[in-house]
Structure 1
């Protein structure tokens, strides 16, 4: 595993912030982002094992977002379609958190840790500093932080065992994701 951009021997430098929450309303085809903005969704696809979302974005670094919420795995897998000049050396971006469904509405609670997957090359864990600061500031409890760490390590292990191919690992876990 290569060292991520946030992984270092330097002191923790993250500013504490609350758990980021999103709402995915399949019936109204909207996504309420962590800042509270309602975003129109082009496509929702509900499977027994997860929810797919595809939508445009007005973010300066990416113009389109595809995501799979995978509640049983405690993961959200995404592909960011970057704008010219903002490309990143990543194939999949994975958030660790809590994801649940209540009827047509799904909820996402991001537990700080992220995985960057470069298919066939490596998988890194990012934002460990954010998790440490959040625990220290009381924004997430120790049990949830431990679950996030366990989830991230289990996912890195599985992805690495499949040649750093997230989609292959998810297929084996019963979540055969597909993308646009």
Structure 2
């Protein structure tokens, strides 16, 4: 099953991950003004993290949403810690010409802005988003899971 809902701050997506070895289901908010995709995963096994935040450029033209991933991500353990990950992927993408130098700088600045905001919000994603003027809602898994 797939669910898409536009909202004031972006686009909400929920879907099953079919045949994925670690992840059963995924929910995400594409937030263009923050240049991030905030994700929550439902894992087959133990929870690996509470939120995964992709740094990206997000655009919407009509009903077509486009996400250009900038390879830099943050892992959030709600109320405990957050960390920037995949810096090596960003640098490799830049070296290969997939990411321009201005995009690289923007990705690093965005990731540090998010990490600073999460730190001030004591690693609460909802409190960080509220501080940015953004409110999002998440569905209980049983409201969109097909199997």
TM-score norm. by structure 2 comes to 0.90
Corresponding position of 1:65: 26
Counterpart secondary structure, 2:60 = strand
Corresponding position of 1:18: none
Deviation at 1:139, TM superposition (A): 1.2
Please tell me whether residue 145 in structure 1 is matched to residue 112 in structure 2. Answer: no
Deviation at 1:118, TM superposition (A): 0.5
Please tell me whether residue 46 in structure 1 is matched to residue 25 in structure 2. Answer: no
Counterpart secondary structure, 1:146 = helix
How many equivalent residue pairs?
138
Q: C-alpha offsets along residues 115-165 of structure 1, whole Å, 9 cap, x if unaligned?
A: 000111111000000111111111111000000000000000001100101
What's the C-alpha RMSD, in Å, of the aligned pairs? Answer: 1.1
Which runs of structure 2 are paired with 1:116-131 in the superposition (5 Å)? 116-131=75-90
Corresponding position of 2:64: 105
Which runs of structure 2 are paired with 1:157-172 in the superposition (5 Å)? 157-172=116-131
Structure 2 unmatched runs, 5+? 140-147
Q: In structure 2, how many angstroms separate the alpha carbons of the residues matched to 1:151 and 1:122?
A: 18
List, as ranges, runs of 4+ consecutive aligned residues in structure 1 with deviation greater than 2 Å.
Answer: none
- Contact 1:50-1:68 at 8 Å conserved across structures: yes
Counterpart secondary structure, 1:78 = strand
Deviation at 1:83, TM superposition (A): 0.8
More helix by share: 2
From 74, 92, 96, the equivalent of 2:35 is: 74
Q: In structure 1, how many angstroms separate the alpha carbons of the residues matched to 2:47 and 2:57?
A: 26
Deviation at 1:48, TM superposition (A): 2.1
Q: In structure 2, how many angstroms separate the alpha carbons of the residues matched to 1:71 and 1:102?
A: 12
Deviation at 1:88, TM superposition (A): 3.8
